Amino acid sequence: MSNQETNKIQDHNVSDAAPAASLPRLGMAAPAFEAVTTHGKIRLEDFRGTWVVLFSHPADFTPVCTTEFLAFAGIAAELRQRNVELLGLSIDSPTSHIAWVRNIKDKFGIDIPFPIIADSNKDVATLYGMVSPGESKTETSRCVFVIDPNGIVRAMIYYPLTTGRNTDEIIRLIDALQTTDKHGVATPANWKPGEKVIVPPPTTMEDVEARLKAGFECTDWYFCKKAL
Amino acid sequence: MACIGPQGELTESARKMLTALESPSSPEDVASRTSLPLFRVRAGLRELAEGELVTMINSLYTPTDRGRSLLA
């Protein structure tokens, strides 16, 4: 069986027809898929109950992607402590992925602990709008999709082919999203864990009065922070 | 997960999962016993079920006679 055949999207809720190009929306269900990976066939639904960072890279055996894989491998344990799993993807074959992972181990001494989707026929890349034809019609851009334990798309990041991503920002983003879920707050620019958070703006006059009495650090009625 | 090798033998992870099914178990139970990530256990148990090495009843997995024989 060819890679294209084995990598075919087999979601039981979706027809076998090639998926239409699309872009997930924040707050909506992440598109379901089943794909061949370096850890065997995996469905998105297998991650239910954990956060997923689904990220694409342009191609195996390329220098920027290699630096990114080293960086993602470096944060994998930190992410797992946060109940987050990494899932890579590129439009390459399983054999290419395996050879590259082995090469990274050989040349850099680093194990790649997460699965990588071999999306040879672009099915998952198409579902997630990972190909930017203005840059390349045959490679995925450097996309990141943060999917929560309920399978909802919570954040998306797109970087061009030339520019490696910042994995510290991905951890910061996860921390911010999890803080929002746990405490019902928002997080300001450049927020890091331990810093004050934003109390969501009031929506009624009653809320405004209650807020002003609540002891928050308010610059104005709509701009209040608090420590957690 | 690739639970079954080219010669029909169990892979290391498949062996771990089958061994962990000492009684009907959920994927969460198996993940806890094997220290494998839950997503890998779900994918692996599905593959083992497709290979008729485990059966699932009421969301709990049990080895089949064939699965037990491969463990021996």
Indicate whether B5 belongs to any domain: no
Indicate whether B41 belongs to any domain: yes
Indicate whether B6 belongs to any domain: no
Indicate whether B2 belongs to any domain: no
DSSP-based three-state secondary structure for A72: helix
CATH of residue B16: 1.10.10.10
Indicate whether B51 belongs to any domain: yes
Residue B13 structure tokens: 């992870």
Nearest Cα of chain A lies from the Cα of B63 at a distance, in angstroms, of 20
Q: Taking a contact as any Cβ pair under 8 Å apart, which residues of chain B between 13 and 52 contact chain A?
A: 37-40, 42-44, 46-47
Rg (CA), chain B: 11
Whole-angstrom distance, CA of residue A150 vs CA of residue A146: 11
What total number of domains does chain B contain?
1
Each residue's pLDDT tens digit in chain A (228 positions)?
334 433 444 444 444 555 666 789 999 999 999 999 999 999 999 999 999 999 999 999 999 999 999 999 999 999 999 999 999 999 999 999 999 999 999 999 999 999 999 999 999 999 999 999 999 999 999 999 999 999 999 999 999 999 999 999 999 999 999 999 999 999 999 999 999 999 988 889 998 888 888 889 999 888 999 999
Residue B19 structure tokens: 């061994």
Torsion angle of the four alpha carbons B15, B16, B20, B26, in this order, in degrees rounded to the nearest 10:
-100
Indicate whether B3 belongs to any domain: no
The domain containing residue B39 runs over which residues? 12-71
Calculate the alpha carbon distances from A51 to A39, A41, A45 in Å.
18, 19, 11
Indicate whether B1 belongs to any domain: no
Indicate whether B64 belongs to any domain: yes
H-type alpha helices, chain A: 3-6, 63-81, 94-108, 123-127, 167-183, 205-213
Write the ipTM.
Answer: 0.90
Mutant choice from A1, A39, A44, A54 vs B, greatest count of B C-beta within 10 A = A39
Whole-angstrom distance, CA of residue A65 vs CA of residue A67: 5
The full set of domains in chain A, from first to last, is 3-165 (3.40.30.10), 184-228 (3.30.1020.10)
Partner residue opposite A46 with nearest CB, options B2, B3, B42: B42
